[in-house]
């Protein structure tokens, strides 16, 4: 019997990164697990069974593909993902119909959770009760920017239950690993941290692997010689927008995962934090410094804004930026009905340098060998880092990271850009190293899935033998 694998991700969201992670995960696992079938689930998907329905998978699950169909790699699946929910008893819409659940990259964001729906990726309000018959993997999960430490005992207990229920656990950053270790009391094994290629190279008990999208093969580096450098600007909204909040916490999502006051931030606190004057000052400082730098750069380089329609409203932010920069042009990319990753990667590969503010835009620039500067509006004073900052540190490119840290502490962005243009290119080598580690991580994930399927098959045969 073929192995039935459910892929959990944000793949119904209009966002390059979420769609890319789901597509790459299916493609990589399908190559390693002949005969396996895959079905995609997403808590933001609009169609299908509602919470409270039977735990059995609904007929016509959608987004289900047999092995081989995923060779499209980054073009996405043809059907909409099944709506995903997890109730207080650990039930979910695919219970009893799958051998394994793989969470395809994505983010862990609590407790405390700012949005109750994000509990889904931690197996719901009661992770200890989640579907006992299914093998569960976190693969390359990231830590959401601004997530506070699990400072209360019951928050730490919750994460301990998540860790105990997972059969396979990897995260994509040292900060995520450190947070998980601290919350759950996990201790690194002897010898951890002895080699960069090892999953515990950071000296943590929780293995660190590259983001799953690094499994995409490197692209050939090809850029024409130009008298003036072409600088691509793929910079999005510097803070939460109404569009984003509507997607994450719309009324139709209220029943997908119960709001547990012990685990979730009160809605009024979320609103208060979003309107914090200090955050507004930081966003204004970021926009002002970036805008002034782009105007200065326009005197010595051609500026091309690369806008992508997505959950964040980045196309609107890019259009606003472009109107203030003399002679700038705009390349408006198409919809994200497919992943949109190929189109964005091609646009970035044409540039001599890219300024990016999204995590997967940085990875796609790196994939094509394009030098990038991470202009980061999400760097957290409280945590001292962010997703983009962690990525540049791991790549050995922390000097290519820029964030607004206040009028007296902000590094000169123009200087960072000038140095990036002058440096010898290191992007292709950096991407290749991450690619090799990412494919090795998928090998280990596939090994775990294969072993779990064999064990399940053995148990089934023994059970049938006893009943005959």
Q: Per-domain residue ranges for the chain?
A: 4-217+433-467, 230-428
pLDDT of 72: 43
Pair type for strands 230-234 and 302-307: parallel
Question: How distant, in Å, are the alpha carbons of 16, 183, 280 from that of 146?
Answer: 21, 16, 15
Q: For 105-118, give one letter per residue: b (16+ CB within 10 A) or e.
A: bbbbbbbbbbbbbb
Neighbours of 224 (CB within 10 A): 7
pLDDT-flagged residues of the chain (< 70): 47-78, 190-203, 239-255, 274-275, 335-339, 407-410, 457-468
pLDDT tens readout for residues 226-268: 789 999 999 988 866 666 666 666 555 666 777 888 998 887 7
pLDDT of 336: 47
Which residue is associated with the tokens 């983010």? 107
Identify the H or E element spanning 464. Answer: helix 427-467
Give the span between the Cα atoms of 368 and 457, in whole angstroms: 43
Classify residue 119 by its DSSP letter.
Answer: G
pLDDT tens readout for residues 380-407: 777 778 999 999 999 999 999 999 887 6
Domain 230-428 maps to which CATH number in 1.10.150, 2.60.120, 1.20.120, 3.40.50? 3.40.50
Identify the H or E element spanning 17. Answer: helix 16-32
What is this structure's pTM?
Answer: 0.88
CB 401 within 8 A of CB 388: yes
Residues 307, 313, 314, 315: what is their CA dihedral angle, to the nearest 10 degrees?
Answer: 20
Give the span between the Cα atoms of 39 and 56, in whole angstroms: 14
pLDDT of 105: 81
């Amino acid at each position: 019997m073929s192995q039935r694998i459910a892929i959990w991700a944000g793949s119904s969201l209009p966002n390059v990164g979420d769609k890319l992670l789901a597509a790459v995960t299916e493609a990589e696992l399908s190559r390693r697990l002949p005969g396996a079938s895959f079905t995609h689930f997403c808590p933001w998907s609009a169609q299908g069974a509602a919470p409270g329905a039977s735990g059995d998978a609904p007929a016509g699950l959608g987004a289900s593909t047999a092995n081989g169909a995923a060779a499209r790699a980054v073009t996405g699946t043809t059907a909409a993902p099944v709506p995903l929910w997890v109730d207080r008893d650990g039930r979910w819409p695919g219970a009893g119909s799958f051998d394994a659940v793989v969470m395809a990259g994505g983010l862990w964001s609590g407790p405390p959770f700012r949005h109750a729906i994000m509990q889904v990726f931690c197996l719901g309000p009661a992770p200890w009760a989640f579907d006992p018959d299914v093998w569960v993997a976190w693969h390359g999960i990231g830590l959401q920017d601004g997530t506070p430490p699990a400072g209360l005992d019951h928050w730490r207990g919750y994460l301990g239950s998540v860790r105990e229920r997972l059969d396979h656990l990897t995260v994509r950053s040292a900060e995520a690993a450190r947070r998980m270790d601290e919350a759950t009391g996990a201790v690194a094994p002897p010898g951890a941290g002895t080699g960069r290629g090892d999953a515990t190279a950071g000296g943590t008990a929780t293995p660190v692997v590259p983001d799953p999208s690094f499994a995409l093969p490197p692209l050939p580096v090809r850029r024409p010689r130009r008298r003036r450098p072409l600088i691509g600007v793929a910079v999005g909204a510097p803070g939460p927008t109404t569009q984003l909040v509507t997607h994450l916490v719309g009324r139709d999502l209220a029943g997908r995962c119960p709001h547990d006051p012990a685990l979730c931030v009160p809605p009024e606190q979320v609103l208060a934090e979003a309107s914090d004057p200090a955050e507004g000052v930081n966003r204004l400082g970021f926009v002002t410094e970036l805008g002034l730098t782009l105007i200065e750069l326009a005197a010595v380089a051609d500026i091309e804004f690369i806008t992508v329609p997505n959950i964040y409203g980045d196309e609107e932010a890019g259009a606003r930026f472009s109107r203030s920069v003399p002679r700038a042009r705009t390349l408006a990319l198409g919809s994200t009905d497919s992943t949109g990753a190929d189109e964005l990667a091609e646009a970035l590969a044409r540039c001599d340098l890219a300024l990016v503010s999204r995590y997967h835009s940085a990875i796609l620039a790196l994939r094509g060998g394009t030098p990038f500067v991470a202009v980061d509006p999400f760097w957290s004073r409280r945590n001292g880092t962010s997703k983009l900052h962690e990525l540049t540190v791991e790549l050995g490119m922390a000097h290519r990271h820029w964030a607004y840290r206040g009028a007296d502490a902000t590094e000169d962005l123009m200087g960072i850009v000038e140095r990036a243009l002058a440096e010898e290119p290191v992007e292709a080598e950096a991407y290749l190293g991450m690619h090799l580690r990412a494919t090795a991580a998928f090998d280990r994930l596939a090994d775990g899935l294969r072993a779990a399927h064999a064990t399940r098959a053995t148990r089934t045969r023994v059970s049938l033998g006893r009943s005959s």
